[in-house]
Structures are given as C-alpha cells and as structure tokens.
Structure 1
Amino acid sequence: MPSKLEQLAAMTTIVADTGDIDAVKRLKPVDCTTNPSLLLKAVELPQHAALVEDAIAWGRKQGGNADSRAAAVCDRLAIAFGAELAQVVPGRVSTEVDADLSFDTVATVDKARAIINAYEERGVGREKILIKIASTWEGIRAAEVLQSEKIDCNMTLLFSLAQAQAATEAQAFLISPFVGRILDWHVKAGGGPYTSETDPGVQSVRSIHAAYKSQGRKTIVMGASFRNVGEIEALAGCDRLTISPALLDELAKAEGDLPRKLDASAIATKPAPAATDEKSFRWQMNEDAMATEKLAEGIRAFAKDLNLLRALVGKRLAIAA
C-alpha cells in the first residue's frame, strides 16, 4: 500500500513549509513556502553558507547607514533562497513581505513589486512566485492591487472566515488558513481535549473550504501551521497543504488507508454573501478574539524574527568592515 504521504499527494498538492534547500530537494514537493522565521533558521545552516556570504559580500559594497544595509542584505537573502528553491520545485515559491508593513497598503504594494523585480533580475518569472502578505484589511487591499498587475498573492496569518471572504473578494490567488495556531489558542483558553475531527483549526479550514467551493471561488485554500499529522489527515482533499519537513517525513513512513475528508464536488452551490467592506471586516474581527489575537501575535513574531535576522546580518557586516 502507498504511504500516507503518497495517498495525500494523489488528492492534495503538497507544499513544503521550509527554507531549507536540501530538505526541499529530498522531499520533492510541488511548491515551497518561506517566512522570516524559517529564513532565520535557514541562514544558520552550514550548507547555506555560500548564499549568506554572497549576500554579505554584496552588502559591504552598498552605501547608506548600518540599518539600511542590513535590511537590504536581508531582502537579498530572501530572494537568493527563493531563487534557489524556484529551481528545485516545479511550482511556486512564496516570499513574504516585511511584517512591519502589515498595516500599510502602499508600502506593501511597493515592496511586492520590488520583490518581483528582484526575482526577474535573477531570471525567475513572476509565474513562479507568490507574494505572502498578512491578512489585515490593508494587506488584503494590497493584494487586490497586486492581483490586477498579475502578481499572485498568498494571504498568510489567516484565522477566520471574515479574512478568507475578504481575501477571495479581492481575488487573492491563495490563502493560508492556519490550523495549529488556532488549536494553540483554544487549548490555552482551556478547551479540549481535542481529536483530529474536533480540532478547532481543522474545523476552521473545513468551513472556509466549504464556503469557497459553494460560492465557486477560484482562490486556492492551503492549510498551514500544523501541529501533528492528525490535523493533516483530517484535511486530506484540501486544495493544498503546506507542511514542515518533519511532518512530511512522518507521513512518508506512515502506513494505512488515508480517506478523503474534503471533496469540492460534493458541495452544493449557493449565492455569495454581500461584499465585505472595511466596517464589517473590522467588526467581525473585533468579535473574534482568537483571530484578532493570533493575527497580532503572528505579525509581532514575524517582525521579531525579521529584526533578529537583520541584527545577525548587521553583526556580520560590522565584522567584515
């Protein structure tokens, strides 16, 4: 019998959630997603030393103050890793806009355009890249602009149907509803114990998937942020799932039948709800304590890791000088 990973790949597009180039080569996913936290881990791996040194050497030649040079090197590193990953995977690589731009539509659009231009300078076309943007109101509006320019977006840090609905109305290419972080919030709040079927993160993705398919939406649903293989198995049949190397390895070793849990063809169509406006979006988020808290927490965490990466690069630049 095929492994559970092989069975999953027959009904769901497998995406690797890592910046480790060697792990992607070994696992052979269709797509790959990165973020500042994953990039921070990746740059410290010895096998990526040449990529890091190249970016540092470039940074030594740049003008500006120490902070601006460190930020520029971090941008270059993200593109360097992404370009390498784009040569490995047959599909897309997701690269994240700086978390500290999450509430600035214009700056997010400008940064996304710069990322695409940097990839194109390396010979990587925009059809290979997804721009990851936090699912704030401002981020969703930025995605709407970018999608009109044929720059496809991956809406991340998504915890609610309100975020999902606004994202698909903006014609976002893909959303990444988080599973494990939703579970974390409910467990911390005293909920549970949960099974894979009652897991609130799993239930959230299922509800978003059902809403999209019933409305005939084209936006891709890609479950993310998994804590265990049970959550993954409970979402078998989702459009895409982005999974860490450790959990991909666990699925590759797992035996037994893996039934389909999500089936778009079995969902009846229904009219789409009224379009989301800013007032209703913010009110729905206000009424959802989990989504509000996890979105803010996620932005802070990504911003912290981005600053740690910039500090690490700044030290390397200072030593080089």
Structure 2
Amino acid sequence: MAEKQHILSVSAIEVSDEMVSADKNKKNNESPDKRRKMSESALSQLKKHTVVVADTGDFNAIEEYKPQDATTNPSLILAAAKMPAYQHLLDQAIKYGIANGGTEEEQVANTMDKLFVSFGLEILKKVPGRVSTEVDARLSFDKDEMLAKALKLIGLYKEAGINKERVLIKLSSTWEGIQAGKELEEKHGVHCNMTLLFSFAQAVACAEANVTLISPFVGRILDWYKENTGRKSYEPHEDPGVLSVTKIYNYYKKFGYSTVVMGASFRNTGQVKALAGCDLLTISPGLLGELSQDHSTIEEMLNVEKAKGCDLEKVHLDEKAFRWEHNEDRMAVEKLSDGIRKFAADAIKLETMIKEKILSVKNGQ
C-alpha cells in the first residue's frame, strides 16, 4: 500500500513538472508586447487609448489614480461637502458668502458658487488638465441665466489665478443649455461640457453648436432599459449605453466635428473597456480601482479610421427638429428630466446645509 502511494506521489510530481515546463514554454512563445500588456493594469492600458477623467469630488481618489482631468456635479459636491476632510472648504465658502452681503438668498448663492469653484481649485492642483464645474440644473431651461452663472464661475476662477482654458463649464443638454454653450464658446471663449446627454438629437445639436465636449451617459441609459424591458443584463458589445456612445463617436469622427466625446456614468468596467479609444472617459473612483487591479488586455474599440467607414448620414437640426427628434426618444426624454430633477434636488440639499451653517456662524455658534 505504501509502495502504491509512493508511485502516485512520483506520478503527481512528474505531471506537475510537465505542466510547469509547458507553462514556461507558453510564456516564452508569447510576444514581448503581449507579456507587457498582461503585466500592465487595464487602467494603464486604457490611458494609452483614451484620456481618463476622474468622476469625483474626492481629492484623495484623484491623487491615487492620476487622471488627466476631473469632473464634478452637484451630487458629487454634496457628498464631498459632508466629509470632515473638506469642511474647511465649506467654511471658507460660507465666510465668502457672508462677506459679500446681500439677502440670505444671495449669500447662499454666493457660497454655493464659491464652494463649487473651491473644489475645482483643489482638483486643479492634482490634475494636469481641466476640471468641469456645473451650472445649477434648476437653470436648465433659461439660456440667459445659464450664461450669467457660467460667466460668474469663470470670474471666480480668474480671481483665483486660473485661466479659463483649464475649466469646462457643465451645462444640461436642453435646447436652451446647448444654445448657452454655443454663445459661451463663440462670444466668450469659455469651453463647455454638455452633460445629461442621452439622445442622438442632443449629440447632433451639440456638434452643430460647436461646443468643446459632450458627456453622453452610458450607465443611466442601461438603467432605463433594465427598468423598462424584460431584460436584466447585457453583454458590453450589446449594452444600449455603449451602443449610443459608439454611434455618437462614429458620427462626430466621420463628419469631422471638433466636439469631443467623453463617455460618462458607468455601471461596470465592461462598459468602460467596450469604449476604449473614445476621446475621453470619466470614471468613478470605485471603477478606477477595479481597473487598476485588472490585468486583462484592453483593445482599442473606437478609432477615427473605423468611424470614417461607418454607415451614417449627416443630419441638421434646427430647434423644431431637435425638439421633435428628442421627443421621439422616450428613454432620453425620461432620463434627461430625471437627471435634472436629481441634480436640482441635491443642489437644494446643499443649499439647506449652507443656510444652516450661515445661521450658525451669524449666531456665533
């Protein structure tokens, strides 16, 4: 019995040695390029095809993953403003708001503007590129108010010594928002990031307005399809959010528009990988962390050469055509409205927090 066990043991060692030898041969036969890719993280590989942007207001996450740019919104600022590490920025903004006087409403508005810019200034210390700062979503249907707010934010950056070239003003991709973006770009040289973009009509109108950048939302499109169809899962290559951004990217490159595409709102790394090659991708810290630990090979999925050969026709949209085409896309109508409501709700929560802080400061607490 002992002899049988010994034979089995030796046999196992022989098999193991053969497997190791085969594995070594396999590795030796792999190209240096493939071996290098396997050792690199998916995030490092992605950065060779696409500009990676951090979708956060958390400076620590920005420092850890070293993106080119960073983008914020009212929801992200609200979350960051609740963190003890950033209370000094909130306190500074409140002092600014009170010092500039006016009604309570004006003091709150000035504090909000200062807080958004303060976060932007801190972010710019950690990224070599640009930061996106969002105009209040409650102004989404008022072109003139969006213009005024955007110029005020740019003015605050200027006071802090930051050139407008390092700032992107985020505007909702309503018709009014797109026209505000067009005027900011043409008349004021202010670069715009059109957000809450879900429909092809929105993308076409933004390109025709010659804005700097659009942020089509991948994950929120997927959310809608999962909620409104019987299907609960999609492979990356058939993900409706991925398909939407791919179409927009191909359209822009095929017809030579200068507006660049930044995929946003991701739910998983599969969506990110499926859009490798897009001009920019703005990614949350959680997914950046997953990509940094992932060592699978990233392939370039989007490029100008492929786009030039795609089967798309050029279209023109005036206001009437835009409103009709956008209205025909139920998903886009619902998600745009929902996005505006959610950003507005978080802006109101932030205002409430600021009001309480201002009252506390005035009462000497």
Q: TM-score range by the shorter chain?
A: over 0.9
User: What are the equivalent positions in structure 2 for 1:294-305 lying under 5 Å apart?
Assistant: 294-305=335-346
TM-score by length of 2: 0.86
Instruction: Report what 2:235 is aligned to.
Output: 195
What CA distance in whole angstroms lies between the structure 1 residues aligned with 2:130 and 2:308?
30
What CA distance in whole angstroms lies between the structure 1 residues aligned with 2:84 and 2:291?
27
SS of corresponding position for 1:262: coil
Instruction: Report what 2:304 is aligned to.
Output: 264
Amino acid at match of 1:315: E
Amino acid at match of 2:295: E
Structure label with greater radius of gyration: 2
Superposition deviation, residue 272 in structure 1 = 6.4
1:252 paired residue among 278, 292, 303: 292
What CA distance in whole angstroms lies between the structure 2 residues aligned with 1:191 and 1:92?
40
Amino acid at match of 1:248: L
Superposition deviation, residue 319 in structure 1 = 1.1
What CA distance in whole angstroms lies between the structure 2 residues aligned with 1:198 and 1:167?
25
What CA distance in whole angstroms lies between the structure 2 residues aligned with 1:241 and 1:65?
41
TM-score by length of 1: 0.97
2:321 paired residue among 263, 267, 280: 280
Superposition deviation, residue 274 in structure 1 = 4.0
SS of corresponding position for 1:88: coil
Amino acid at match of 1:306: A
Given that 1:120 and 1:126 are in contact with CA atoms closer than 8 Å, whether structure 2 keeps it comes out as: yes
Given that 2:192 and 2:212 are in contact with CA atoms closer than 8 Å, whether structure 1 keeps it comes out as: yes
SS of corresponding position for 2:235: coil
What CA distance in whole angstroms lies between the structure 2 residues aligned with 1:26 and 1:226?
19
What CA distance in whole angstroms lies between the structure 1 residues aligned with 2:298 and 2:144?
44
Name the stretch that deviates more: 249-258 or 186-195: 186-195
Q: Which has the higher helix share?
A: 2
Amino acid at match of 1:115: L
Instruction: Report what 1:5 is aligned to.
Output: 43
Superposition deviation, residue 294 in structure 1 = 0.4
Amino acid at match of 2:131: V
SS of corresponding position for 2:355: helix
Root-mean-square deviation over aligned CA pairs: 1.3
Given that 2:96 and 2:110 are in contact with CA atoms closer than 8 Å, whether structure 1 keeps it comes out as: no
What CA distance in whole angstroms lies between the structure 1 residues aligned with 2:241 and 2:286?
20
Amino acid at match of 1:83: L
User: What are the equivalent positions in structure 2 for 1:1-321 lying under 5 Å apart?
Assistant: 1-148=39-186, 149-192=188-231, 193-268=233-308, 273-321=314-362
What CA distance in whole angstroms lies between the structure 1 residues aligned with 2:109 and 2:303?
44
Structure 1: segments with no counterpart, 5+ residues: none
Identity of aligned residues (%): 48
Amino acid at match of 1:259: E
SS of corresponding position for 2:257: coil
Change (3 A) 1:210 1:190: same
Superposition deviation, residue 56 in structure 1 = 1.8
Query: Which structure has the higher relative contact order (CA within 8 Å, separation 6+)?
Result: 1
Given that 1:11 and 1:236 are in contact with CA atoms closer than 8 Å, whether structure 2 keeps it comes out as: yes
What CA distance in whole angstroms lies between the structure 2 residues aligned with 1:271 and 1:194?
24
What CA distance in whole angstroms lies between the structure 1 residues aligned with 2:306 and 2:145?
41
Question: Segments of 4+ in structure 1 off by > 6 A?
Answer: 269-272
Given that 1:176 and 1:221 are in contact with CA atoms closer than 8 Å, whether structure 2 keeps it comes out as: yes
Given that 1:215 and 1:271 are in contact with CA atoms closer than 8 Å, whether structure 2 keeps it comes out as: no
Deviation per residue, 1:252-278 (Å, 9 max, x gap): 000111111112122226896342100
SS of corresponding position for 1:241: strand
Structure 2: segments with no counterpart, 5+ residues: 1-38
Aligned residues: 321
